[in-house]
Amino acid sequence: MPTPTDSLTPLVNSPRAIDHKVTSVPNRHETGAIPLASRTSGRNGAIGRDGNLPNDEQLRALTGLRGVAALAVVIFHFTYGIFGAATDIGWQLIPRRGYLAVDLFFILSGFVLAHVYGEEFALRLDRRRFGQFLWARFARVYPVHLVTLLMLLRLYGEGTAYSGNAFILNLLLLQGPWLNYGSWNDPSWSISLEWHAYILFPLLCVFIWRRGIVAATFLAVACWLALCAMGLAQNWGVQPVSHGAWALARSLPEFAIGILVYRLYRSGWLARVWGSDWSFAIIALVLMALSPFWPTDLAIITVLPVLLLAVASNHGRVQLVLNTRPIAALGQISYSLYMVHLICLDTLLGILGFQPQPAGVGLVAAAAMFLVALVAALVMATLVSRCIEYPARSFLRGLWRRPAATSRAPISLQ
């Protein structure tokens, strides 16, 4: 599910720029308004049987979940970048696995897009609908991506990470699979991979909606095996996997799993169980128990779809907490936060004259730097979100309106 800054060392060469690598989002992470169906069904609006979409209010909690995931990535990078070499606490915290929030972004994106477009593509897939979908996704992710690239133009020529070739690939959202190193705004690798997933999304919808349970089960197993193959090739960790073919083996199966989780959610299977606060609490405890140990990346990723199902199904305290104003607001700016937070960190380190992982900084000074950087990132993300992300998206979408017959009321899920 971000990057540039004022540091003298190119950002992608600094430890925190490894983005989602430990030793690693948003689409995902993504935030903002997305058209969702206004139809409601199911008791308490929680779960809708096939043919009826769950109500918007029920799924609004996913915006808060995205915000929490984006914050987890920020805390991971800031902890690593500020405390890493100054103290021994950086890797003793549960947030050390914050890079796995990017995997949640991939799964969440598949889930939400399946809710918005799944049935539409399953019933009819043509070039115009496909073009409208890609344009909507372009309007969603590209403006902030472009702005962060322009912020880094001052670093042009400082090594291969800031080369002209890498810049062109970044402009075309090809840097994730087609470069084998981090470049420019490195966290945008996940946006590049999501763009590839968007291209395959309509075909996945056709397959998943039109096939039966056996085909869906086969796809789920195939996705999990692909993740296992990727983990095996990377010493059972996903943290270094952000570029090249293995990056696609990380993102595409997770995106497909998100679609499958949505289909399971729509079926109403064990709805009361998943909707319980206790179910969420148990899943959260499992994730926290796995986090301090290595290698458990694949185990954690296996639990993430269950976490998403529990949040989407919940109609209790979990939904109330995720819909509180501060967390919902965090979800609204989560994409911008993901894309700019490392810019803020490197800028702060540059102003104060520190290099990444400032070994000479004491614990108190490092903690103060952490808080200042976090506040700066939140403020910058809010400005970018309000001044660039949402206005640019509305303008671009206005250039290609969806037909009134298929339009849906907007809600802020993605």
Q: What is the predicted pLDDT for the residue at 66?
A: 92
Mean pLDDT over 58-84 rounds to 85
Q: What tens digit of pLDDT does each residue of 89-132 get?
A: 444 555 677 888 999 999 999 999 999 888 888 888 788 888 88
Tokens coding 21: 């690598």
Mean pLDDT over 257-275 rounds to 86
Percentage of the chain with pLDDT > 90? 27
Q: What is the predicted pLDDT for the residue at 388?
A: 93
Which of 343, 311, 303 has the alpha carbon at shortest distance from 327?
A: 311
Q: What is the predicted pLDDT for the residue at 28?
A: 35
Q: What is the predicted pLDDT for the residue at 366?
A: 76
Which of 263, 258, 140, 133 has the alpha carbon at shortest distance from 199?
A: 133
Flag the least confident range among 37-51, 200-214, 359-373. Answer: 37-51
Q: What tens digit of pLDDT does each residue of 141-176 get?
A: 999 999 999 988 888 888 888 888 889 989 998 888
Q: What is the predicted pLDDT for the residue at 343?
A: 86
Contacts of the segment 243-249: beta carbons below 8 A, 24+ positions apart: 243/175, 243/176, 243/177, 243/179, 243/180, 243/181, 243/182, 243/189, 244/177, 244/179, 244/180, 245/177, 247/176, 247/177, 247/189, 247/193, 248/176, 248/177, 248/193, 248/196
Query: Model confidence at 334, in pLDDT bands (50, 70, 90)?
Result: very high
Q: Given CA atoms 68, 110, 80, 8 in this order, what sign does their dihedral have?
A: negative
Residue 316 has pLDDT above 70, yes or no: yes
Flag the least confident range among 141-150, 264-273, 307-316, 346-355. Answer: 346-355
Residues 6+ apart with CB under 8 A from 413: 33, 34, 36, 59, 60, 62, 63, 112, 115
Mean pLDDT over 368-394 rounds to 91
Residue 400 has pLDDT above 80, yes or no: no
Q: Would you list the domain boundaries of the chain?
A: 11-412
The burial class, CB within 10 Å (0-12 / 13-18 / 19+), for 277 is: middle
Q: pTM of the prediction?
A: 0.79
Mean pLDDT of the chain: 76
Residues 6+ apart with CB under 8 A from 230: 238, 241, 246, 249, 250
Decide if 20 contacts 345 (C-beta within 8 A): no
Q: What is the predicted pLDDT for the residue at 155?
A: 82
Query: Model confidence at 307, in pLDDT bands (50, 70, 90)?
Result: very high
Rg (CA), the chain: 20
Percentage of the chain with pLDDT > 70? 76
Q: What is the DSSP secondary structure assignment for residue 84, as one 8-state letter?
A: T
Higher pLDDT, 25 or 162: 162
Residues 6+ apart with CB under 8 A from 27: 1, 102, 105, 106, 109, 141, 190, 191, 194, 335, 338
Q: What is the predicted pLDDT for the residue at 361?
A: 63
Residue 186 has pLDDT above 90, yes or no: no
Residues 6+ apart with CB under 8 A from 362: 86
Residues 6+ apart with CB under 8 A from 200: 252, 255
Q: What is the predicted pLDDT for the residue at 240?
A: 66
Bridge partners of 412, per DSSP, are 33
Decide if 117 contacts 205 (C-beta within 8 A): yes
Cα–Cα distance for residue pair 382/380, rounded to 1 Å = 5
